[in-house]
Amino acid sequence: MTELIKYADHVHAMLEAERHQAANRLQHIMDVLPDKTLKIALGIHPDQDGEGYVTLMVHLEGPDLFVLNGAIAQWRTLFDGFIPLLLEGHADINAANGEDAEFIAGDILVDSAADWLEAMWRAEQSSATDIPVSIFCAEAFGTRVPRSVT
Q: What is the mean pLDDT of residues 117-131?
A: 86
Query: What residues does each domain of the chain span?
Result: 3-148
Q: What is the mean pLDDT of residues 89-102?
A: 47
Roughly how many angstroms between the first and final C-alpha of the chain, as a whole number?
32
Q: Is the pLDDT of residue 61 over 60?
A: yes
Angle at CA of residue 58, ends 116 and 26, nearest 5°: 70
The fraction of the chain above a pLDDT of 70, given in percent, is 85
User: pLDDT of 37-58, one tens digit each?
Assistant: 999 999 999 987 767 789 999 9
User: pLDDT of 9-34, one tens digit each?
Assistant: 989 999 999 999 999 999 999 999 99
Q: How far apart are CA 98 and CA 115, in angstroms?
A: 23
